[in-house]
Structure 1
Amino acid sequence: MKNIAILAENISKQYRLGEVGTGTLSHDLNRMISKLRGKGDPYLKIGDTNDRTTSGNSQYVWSLKDINFEIEQGDAVGIIGRNGAGKSTLLKLLSKVTKPTTGSFKVNGRIASLLEVGTGFNPEMTGRENIYLNGAILGMRKAEIDRKFDEIVAFSGVERYIDTPVKRYSSGMYVRLAFAVAAHLESEILIVDEVLAVGDAEFQKKCLGKMGDVSKEEGRTVLFVSHNMSAVQNLCNKGIVLSNGTTEFVGNVEESIQHYLKRNTDSINLLETKERKGSGVVKFAEINVFGATRETKPQSGQPFTMEFVLANNQQVNFADIEFDVRIDDQIGQRILWMSTTLMKETPNRVGNVVTFSMDRLVLNEGIYFITVYMTVNKDLSDWVQNAITFEVSEGDFYNTGKRVPALHSKVLVDYQVQYS
């Protein structure tokens, strides 16, 4: 029988744009009249989905809509999605920072959450006082907190400032102590948003290690929001993918990451993409990725082509354009880097298509990102991170009928072995 830690049933959260609260006095009166007549909230029948790229037609927007999932005790769950997908809203509802518009949670255990820097801290109180305050909020007795106190302070690394009001802490000190409190006090469920990005790399690694211990060794449940797929993959065993406020996928962490990353594959029109930087004198208009022919998918050991179509309305000469292509794996690690700056010469003419090709694709099977960066006369013209995702299928790179597991190597190279 499953031991359920969290059960979400038809969770939705609606906001009125441009307003604090649920709406105007007239809207509240309409709600009250509908309730007296035995009817539901009339504003639940309206509202746009949470797509920030469109203007919409309603004053209301569904930050979350009909979210359903169950999380078992001891699971470490990564909440994945683009900015604005509803990840932080979901964690705020779970942490009871705000109420859902519809639906309910069934939670088995106490929740400790770290959603923003200093969540749950009183800025006028010292670090020491805030540790005891947070423990009391979780229902712990003073003797229980006393047993954990030294461990919390040692983990946070702010011992020298423990009797200083936390309003004088830097953001890094704040998050160090806040995480130490949330992770060490005896809650059954730990919720952590991307607030860890405030800390330095060493502390982030320390936090991820602690969350892994909390889940695997202590059997506590962890919910973790991050855009760092490497951290999600290393920490979590399950994933929930959110898109525009809806549940797009629920499954194990590998499947969840792959589902999230496989949205834009093989070919994409970039002209309408707003998430870019640069003057736009010349822009990336289209990217096409293919294998031995335009009709075949990329395959390890086979010919591989990346075709970049440029919007070059000002007829800029190729000689004045430089650009880099970066290929990352699905957890954000840089695998390959190619650049026109490495070429001996650039053609002295105007055009709008640049093609990078390989006789043998050296990437192992898996999902990869392409990031593009272009300058015109040394000034940034266009930069699109993770512009396109493409998938490489398994191939017989070594012509031996044997494959190299993607877990062992992302890049395949020719080599010789000699015995003597």
Structure 2
Amino acid sequence: MSIILKAENISKQYRLGTVGTGTLGDDLKRWWYSVRGKEDPFLKVGGVNDRSAKATEDYIWGLRDINFEVKQGEVLGIIGKNGAGKSTLLKLLSRVTSPTTGSIKTKGRIASLLEIGTGFHPELTGRENIFMNGAVLGMTRAEIKNKLDEIIAFSGCEMYIDTPVKRYSSGMTVRLGFAVAAHLEPEILVVDEVLAVGDAEFQKKAIGKMQDLSTGEGRTVIFVSHNMASIQNLCTRVMLMNNGQNEKIGFTDEVVDYYLEKFRNTFVSKELENRLDRKGNGQLKFLRYWFENKNGNQTNSLQSGMNCKMILEIINTSERKINNIRISVGIDDNQSRRITLLDNTLTNVNIQFEPIETRQIKIAIPNLPLQGGQYYFTLFASENDNIADWVINAGEFEVEFGDYFNTGKVVKSSQGNFLTQHKFSVNSK
């Protein structure tokens, strides 16, 4: 198949500090001082008054010398730890920003779903935003009308399609954003990890739609995710990003195995307060976590079949009371496959916080139904579907093999991760 996207030696440099971030008045004042031969009034303490020199502490490379090609109909997965440069790369591919050096050559239209709400005007309704996005992609109004019903149905936002998007929850915004991007017939679809905000049913629909675009319609998909199961199910090739560079690119299983082995030991962290690789508005914040045994003592030793608790310490950083809170813990195996979810909304437990309040959320897990092995978890907090805090790979824990069935027998790890209480009975004819 022909090459539809080619990135050659692309790098992206960002400037830190105050220069270029002030008001027009600041820039005019800085210019006037330079004309008069005076020192920059906004110069940092200890800084050198030489605007022609690039001080190393004021610049950072978000990407360095990235090279890759994508063929028509291919699904390229991009993986890596938070801060590796994945989102920066997608912004370059989507032409949200330009590379400092290098070039990106593409054939056809590119539709992208990056950060939540990207490409939507908050004052316009969902319907109006669909037409606006189609116009940006170069489609006529008639072409958009032909796809309109399909987009609305796929998004599941029929009841709210004539409501301003600013009234939408994060999940609704993502669903509509993906539906628009996927149905307006782009040659290249670029999707960041925001799909994880949607519910499990919509994630499954989205993965299926991307598979249809690739195999059925011959379109190209570039997909970023921390969920290795989704990456392995969807992608034909994978690129691993690390510290702004392309560390490895190749067949999906090969690169995923390499990534999991290399970074497996970097996810351990019981203190979460200072973690920078998190998303959300920050009104709720995970501070730390630990496990307790049935006696209420902290423990690092978990065993299949034991009664235990997971404790999450969370602070409300805002000066208002917060209600309708969702707290969830997504547990993954050592292949980054999601195996279960702990979520207060599934058990109809209401959680609320007073202003500037720190609380401990206790999650009781009777008869721990996990097979012996290593597990990792992601923490998520939201208020009315608006993300407050989201820490991917927040921590890990190890489960030892135990006598789950009280029979002295242990299930082999090859038979799966999850243990289920069951009972056989035999009836005569």
Alignment TM-score > 0.5, same fold: yes
Residue in 1 that maps onto 2:217: 218
1:385 paired residue among 395, 400, 403: 395
Residue in 2 that maps onto 1:126: 125
Corresponding residue SS for 1:99: coil
1:20 to partner: Cα distance: 6.7
Distance change >3 Å, CA 138–CA 160, structure 1 → 2? same
Identity across matched positions, percent: 56
- CA distance in 2: counterparts of 1:191 and 1:161, whole angstroms: 25
1:204 to partner: Cα distance: 1.3
Residue in 2 that maps onto 1:4: 3
What do the CA deviations read for 1:307-352 (whole angstroms, capped 9, x no partner)? xxxxxxxxxxx995522459823133459xxxxxxxxxxxxxxxxx
1:152 to partner: Cα distance: 0.4
| Paired residue type of 2:270 | R
Residue in 1 that maps onto 2:271: 277
1:68 to partner: Cα distance: 0.5
- CA distance in 1: counterparts of 2:247 and 2:98, whole angstroms: 22
Distance change >3 Å, CA 333–CA 108, structure 1 → 2? same
What do the CA deviations read for 1:177-205 (whole angstroms, capped 9, x no partner)? 11100000011000111111221111111
Mapping for residues 346-365 of structure 1, pairs under 5 Å: none
Mapping for residues 17-416 of structure 1, pairs under 5 Å: 17-19=16-18, 21=20, 43=54, 47=56, 58-264=57-263, 275-277=269-271, 320-325=297-302, 328-334=333-339, 369-371=374-376, 385-386=395-396
| Paired residue type of 1:322 | T
Residue in 2 that maps onto 1:35: none
1:278 to partner: Cα distance: 7.5
Corresponding residue SS for 2:300: strand
- CA distance in 1: counterparts of 2:375 and 2:155, whole angstroms: 37
1:277 to partner: Cα distance: 2.7
What do the CA deviations read for 1:11-67 (whole angstroms, capped 9, x no partner)? 1011122347499979xx9xxxxxxxxxxx964xx75xxxxxxxxxx2211110000
Distance change >3 Å, CA 63–CA 157, structure 1 → 2? same
Distance change >3 Å, CA 319–CA 176, structure 1 → 2? closer
- CA distance in 2: counterparts of 1:278 and 1:248, whole angstroms: 27
| Paired residue type of 1:256 | V
1:231 to partner: Cα distance: 0.9
- The answer as to whether partners of 2:74 and 2:220 remain within 8 angstroms in 1 is yes
Distance change >3 Å, CA 202–CA 20, structure 1 → 2? farther
What do the CA deviations read for 1:193-222 (whole angstroms, capped 9, x no partner)? 111122111111111111111111111110
1:164 to partner: Cα distance: 1.5
Q: Which moved more, 1:235-244 or 1:325-334?
A: 325-334
| Paired residue type of 1:184 | H
Distance change >3 Å, CA 320–CA 203, structure 1 → 2? closer
| Paired residue type of 1:130 | N
Query: What do you get for the CA RMSD once the two structures are aligned?
Result: 3.5
Corresponding residue SS for 1:119: coil
Distance change >3 Å, CA 264–CA 190, structure 1 → 2? closer
1:128 to partner: Cα distance: 1.1
TM-score using structure 2 length: 0.60
Corresponding residue SS for 2:11: strand
- CA distance in 2: counterparts of 1:111 and 1:330, whole angstroms: 31
Distance change >3 Å, CA 19–CA 245, structure 1 → 2? farther
- CA distance in 1: counterparts of 2:103 and 2:145, whole angstroms: 35
| Paired residue type of 1:16 | R
| Paired residue type of 1:220 | R
1:386 to partner: Cα distance: 4.3
| Paired residue type of 2:129 | N
- The answer as to whether partners of 1:64 and 1:86 remain within 8 angstroms in 2 is yes
Corresponding residue SS for 1:82: coil
- CA distance in 1: counterparts of 2:10 and 2:272, whole angstroms: 40
Distance change >3 Å, CA 170–CA 264, structure 1 → 2? closer
TM-score using structure 1 length: 0.61
Structure 2: gaps (5+ residues): 35-51, 274-294, 304-331, 341-370, 378-392, 399-411, 420-429
What do the CA deviations read for 1:205-250 (whole angstroms, capped 9, x no partner)? 1111111111111111101111111111111111010000011000
What do the CA deviations read for 1:283-307 (whole angstroms, capped 9, x no partner)? xxxxxxxxxxxxxxxxxxxxxxxxx
1:410 to partner: Cα distance: 5.4
Distance change >3 Å, CA 370–CA 155, structure 1 → 2? closer
Distance change >3 Å, CA 14–CA 325, structure 1 → 2? farther
Distance change >3 Å, CA 371–CA 165, structure 1 → 2? closer
- The answer as to whether partners of 1:16 and 1:22 remain within 8 angstroms in 2 is no
Corresponding residue SS for 1:262: helix
- CA distance in 2: counterparts of 1:20 and 1:234, whole angstroms: 45
Structure 1: gaps (5+ residues): 30-40, 48-57, 280-317, 336-361, 373-382, 389-403, 414-420
What do the CA deviations read for 1:368-388 (whole angstroms, capped 9, x no partner)? 85559xxxxxxxxxx972489
